[in-house]
């Protein structure tokens, strides 16, 4: 039976959506491994829109997470409220500040963050079904909320983020861009990606390892 992986996107663009390089590397590795995938995004507004040239927030701009994520998926995207866990064998979340802004309020609330209800319910459906999940970059900061307390994960070596992650109930392990952390009990694989990487080739190593391990964990 062919495997199929859900790739959950938080928009398009590192500062206000899904990290583009991380997303493309994830899709590339899935394709190289002969695995089908479906990009998915919630049909919700972005918390803010950032000019990626200047880095400034465009105060009056409004964009849809689903429509922006469709750019990454070349239009082949499924609205989250139409996605069902039973159609997939695993779930992967690329990083980008959209995870901390659109999927949650981690960007402003830190350890007191809550997760967008659709995102949380969809992810926890995979947890309940004992299907593997891959989180990269800033996404592991939500591990305790998405997976449960005591989950083991990494966001790299950022003391501030790892401290908030620990306060939320996760167990953090430091790692470099070319490494993954595997929580066998919770079927969770994490890698720092651009929380540590300074080059595309560095991010590639950890992301490819994450994808390969997620696929290995599929029963």
Alpha-carbon distance of 37 to 215, in angstroms, equals: 12
Verify whether residue 137 is a known catalytic residue.
Answer: yes
Exposure of 96 in the CB half-sphere (CA atoms within 13 A)? 28
Is residue 29 within 8 A of residue 37, CB to CB? The reply is: no
**Catalytic annotation, pick one of 12, 39, 137, 153:** 137
Alpha-carbon distance of 55 to 48, in angstroms, equals: 12
* Nearest alpha carbon to residue 26 among 13, 14, 37, 12: 37
Alpha-carbon distance of 141 to 52, in angstroms, equals: 23
Q: Give the CA distances from residue 219 to residues 72, 120, 153, 188, 213, in Å, rounded to whole numbers and listed in that order.
A: 29, 23, 21, 14, 12
What residues act catalytically?
137
């Amino acid at each position: 039976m062919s495997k199929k992986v859900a790739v959950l996107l938080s928009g398009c663009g590192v500062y206000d959506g899904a990290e583009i390089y991380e997303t493309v590397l994830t899709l590339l590795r899935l394709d190289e491994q002969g695995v089908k995938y479906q990009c998915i995004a919630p049909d919700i507004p972005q918390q803010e829109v950032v000019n990626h040239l200047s880095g400034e927030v465009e105060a009056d701009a409004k964009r849809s997470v689903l429509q922006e994520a469709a750019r990454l998926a070349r239009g082949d995207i499924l609205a989250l409220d139409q996605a069902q866990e039973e159609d997939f064998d695993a779930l992967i979340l690329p990083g980008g500040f959209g995870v901390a802004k659109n999927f949650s309020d981690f960007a402003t609330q830190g350890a007191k963050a809550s997760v967008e209800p659709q995102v949380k319910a969809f992810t926890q459906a995979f947890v309940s079904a004992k299907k593997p999940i891959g989180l990269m970059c800033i996404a592991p900061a939500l591990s305790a909320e998405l997976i449960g307390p005591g989950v083991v994960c990494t966001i790299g070596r950022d003391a501030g983020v790892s401290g908030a992650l620990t306060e939320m109930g996760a167990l953090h392990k430091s790692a470099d861009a070319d490494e993954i952390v595997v929580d066998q009990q919770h079927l969770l694989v994490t890698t720092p990606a651009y929380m540590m990487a300074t080059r595309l080739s560095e991010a590639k190593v950890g992301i490819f390892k994450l994808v390969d391990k997620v696929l290995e964990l599929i029963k």
